[in-house]
Amino acid sequence: MKKVKRKTFSRRKQEVVLIQKNIRINERIRVPEVRVIGANSEQLGVVVLKRALELARENSLDLVEVAPTAKPPVCRIMDFSKYKYDQEKKERRVKKAQKITHLKQIRIKPHIDENDYQIKLKQAKMFLDKKDKVKVNLFFRGREVAFRAQGKRILDRFVEDISDVGQTEKSAQMEGRIMSLILTPKSEKN
């Protein structure tokens, strides 16, 4: 008969998960003496580890090592699952507050029609409204490189038309057969 390992969803599993984050609780703490902070944030002083564990069990709580580098390490009597939940909630809040800006690219050519130009302009405004950066690439094919001045005029017009929602971060420069510029959303201060 084959032995099957069962998954258990108990406090032990929580301990293992947080030990990977270097947080030790209850029997995982391996020092002879600890400085204990009570459940109501009162200082209980330096006590033997065994006594600290007894104090935690009396209150039906956990002994959590909060400052392992201190001499002696500082441990707090608290509900570990609630502590873990609060930490995860803080992480989610911080992650939600972060805004990742993307660099969107728009490709145009020196002989662009007016309708195509307006569509590209509308796309760029949409990207800038979403607080993304926009890189406008003007591609020269074959002998079109001779029309650099016309390409520069198109990009200057693009910058002028988009000035209500965006500003130039990097002005138009040639990179091989591509003339490009980078636009950023206007800050809310301006």
Indicate the pairing of strand 74-78 with strand 62-67. Answer: antiparallel
Averaged confidence pLDDT in the chain: 83
For residue 107, pLDDT beyond 70: yes
Q: State the residue for tokens 């002994």.
A: 63
Give me the pLDDT at residue 119, please: 95
Partners of 183 in the β-ladder: 134, 168
Structural domains for the chain:
11-96 (3.10.20.80), 103-185 (3.30.110.10)
Q: State the residue for tokens 């441990």.
A: 75
Total-model pTM = 0.50
Give me the pLDDT at residue 117, please: 94
Helix, strand, coil tally for the chain in percent (to 5): 40, 30, 30
Query: What is residue 154's three-state secondary structure?
Result: helix
**pLDDT tens figures, 13-54:** 444 444 446 778 888 888 888 899 888 888 888 888 888 888
Give me the pLDDT at residue 2, please: 53
158-172 burial code (b ≥16 CB/10 A, e <16):
bbeebeeebebeeeb
